[in-house]
Structure 1
């Protein structure tokens, strides 16, 4: 026997390594093909958030809603003019999903640098990270190399995207199905430390909820009348105290029974996630670390890589 590897086996191993490498995500994916892509995206996102602080929450949510349907493939960006299965028409997205124009603007700038190289799915993933940083939230290394889908899935969006009426069990089961555990779920829910919600999503809670602070409910009723026909689109900050800063005040609110949405307050309602909420309320650094880790984990959901998918020139359309 010889310790030398046969030439044929060397060739096979070489091609296997190329195949594996071409289908994995990497933080350095565009270093050679579009080295200024990340800087360009960051500048574009910072400008958008500077114009409207709420946009940070919208971009993080948009990335989340993308990954939960078919994986992180930019399917949520396809509009109804492109496909009748547009995920924008799911009740969880309709009239609430925002930031499409911001992603389009970032994509247009990147296309000027290196046409047909950087995917919309990657731009959305980077935008979520840059939006977090822009409002004082954590940063993380975004793995890149995703490609864009050629389809959307309205049925899956309706089925798998969380609802503001979801129970704790439904939440846990939904996240588990996506490979995310309870700690991931609570950490990702902490993104509600920024952003706003429409009256229609919290009306029942502030008028009929039992696990809610009375003064908090009365305060929120001022902008959300108990009339199913009035004020549905009126906005209220998810965190009344520091609505534009990415901090851990969201968890302190939950302990005080001041979660705006039912799907928030269920995280601290005598269930299995109470201890995680308490931990994050006391330790902002731990929350930030876990949020960043959960975002990386979520970004690994079923990416299209290698020869799968396409690179869209315009994120809302197919090439």
Structure 2
């Protein structure tokens, strides 16, 4: 009888262990899933607060949308994915991503927007919403404000605890790169050439600093052979005339509809109206040219591919469940 009782007790203990183990597994699985209504119970005003803050900031500073889109791209394209690591400040012991040379030109309006949203959300639902979810959602909402396509943003990301400047090198496209190098950056992250070209369509809004194009426009007097329309080159030279004295001097990436998200950027490229060397590369390279031509003819199709590519980008290597953290401040780890 004693042996039977002991066996029974052991079986119950073992069963309890497995039940507990399964509960833990199920909790981890549920915590790991991104959902559209992740904050429905914990922060019901999440979407409203973001929309109100985004609208106010964009009206106050019309460059905010393009700035935030660029910030989002520079965060998610890195190997650590969409974890808001680009928002972290450097410390005396570590140089962060945002202080890498390629990120020094990231506009302050985008950082300010995230701070405003985070502050409002912390007052409404403390220690609940991640900075990475804020950045992903704000980017989508700003694109819609400019006339861009809607796409679903799945929520439940957590923020990364590390941000290292040296990890940025080689993972973000530079205007000076060849098209082969730029395509490689995106294909290594799982994007097709078509998706890469669509994401390049983000240049339909925003601006580029004159220092980025100075060597291209001043080393070629006529624009011949460079991909630039000759008259456009002369206009860029005049606009950028004082760039050495004023390093913040910049020009719109899309001179036709600079504040509207549309397909005019692609229509500009065959006319030699691209600002950056990489813009011209999209039209001159045989691997990307067909997509430029299709997007230029069909805005609906461009929007479709752009939206799905942005959603895909927003899901790269996200941290969920017990990974990462919910930062109290977006510029420093807890």
Q: Is the 8 A contact 1:83 1:151 kept in 2?
A: no
Q: Decide which of 302, 307, 310 is 2:322's aligned counterpart.
A: 307
Task: Give how far 1:228 is off.
Answer: 7.8
Deviations 1:100-158 (A, max 9, x none): 11100001001111000000000000010011011111111101110011110211212
**What is the SS of the residue equivalent to 1:109?**
helix
Task: Give how far 1:229 is off.
Answer: 3.4
Q: Is the 8 A contact 1:248 1:284 kept in 2?
A: yes
The structure number with the bigger radius of gyration is 2
Q: Is the 8 A contact 1:196 1:237 kept in 2?
A: yes
* Match of residue 281 from structure 2: 266
Distance 1:178 1:97 in 2: 25
Q: Is the 8 A contact 1:71 1:302 kept in 2?
A: yes
Task: Give how far 1:14 is off.
Answer: 5.9
**What is the SS of the residue equivalent to 2:169?**
helix
TM-score by length of 1: 0.92
* Match of residue 136 from structure 1: 147
* Match of residue 88 from structure 2: 78
**What is the SS of the residue equivalent to 2:157?**
coil
Label 1:116 to 1:271 Cα distance change in 2 as closer, same or farther (>3 A): same
**What is the SS of the residue equivalent to 2:312?**
helix
Q: Decide which of 202, 221, 239 is 1:223's aligned counterpart.
A: 239
**What is the SS of the residue equivalent to 1:105?**
helix
Root mean square deviation of aligned Cα: 2.0
Q: Extract unaligned runs of 5+ from structure 2.
A: 1-14, 221-225
TM-score by length of 2: 0.88
Q: Decide which of 307, 319, 323 is 1:292's aligned counterpart.
A: 307
Q: Is the 8 A contact 2:195 2:309 kept in 1?
A: yes
**What is the SS of the residue equivalent to 1:178?**
coil
Matching of residue 245 in structure 1 with residue 260 in structure 2? yes
Name the count of aligned residue pairs: 313
Task: Give how far 1:211 is off.
Answer: 1.4
Q: Is the 8 A contact 2:89 2:331 kept in 1?
A: yes
Distance 1:41 1:83 in 2: 33
Label 1:305 to 1:83 Cα distance change in 2 as closer, same or farther (>3 A): farther
Distance 1:295 1:82 in 2: 35
Distance 2:131 2:114 in 1: 8
